[in-house]
Amino acid sequence: DTKALIRKADAAKSLGDYEESIKTAEQLIRQDPKNVQAYTTLINIYTNLNLPEKAEEIRKRLLRNASKSRIIREAPQIREFIRRDSIV
């Protein structure tokens, strides 16, 4: 269930268990490659961990799988990352 996986990824992130959150978000992306929330979770984690190169990699993957308008509609919190040419 994709909703259960996104809740699990968000809960792990909230608890500071970034490794589990990353693993779960990546699992969700394998199941649903267009899931904007999973990519958003990964971008937020890598940004928080000061890993802009990893965040940029995820941003590019997201843009290959979803339109900018859909991303902005479903994840307004990363709007600025999507509108820029690069996170780095």
Nearest alpha carbon to residue 22 among 52, 53, 46: 46
Q: For residue 8, name the pLDDT band (cuts at 50, 70, 90).
A: very high
Q: Are 39 and 29 in contact (CB under 8 A)?
A: yes
Note the pLDDT tens digit of each residue in 11-61.
999 999 999 999 999 999 999 999 999 999 999 999 999 999 999 999 999
Q: Are 56 and 87 in contact (CB under 8 A)?
A: yes
Mean pLDDT of 59-83: 90
**18-31 and 2-14 helices cross at what angle (nearest 10)?**
160
Q: Which tops the pLDDT comparison, 46 or 78?
A: 46
**36-48 and 18-31 helices cross at what angle (nearest 10)?**
150
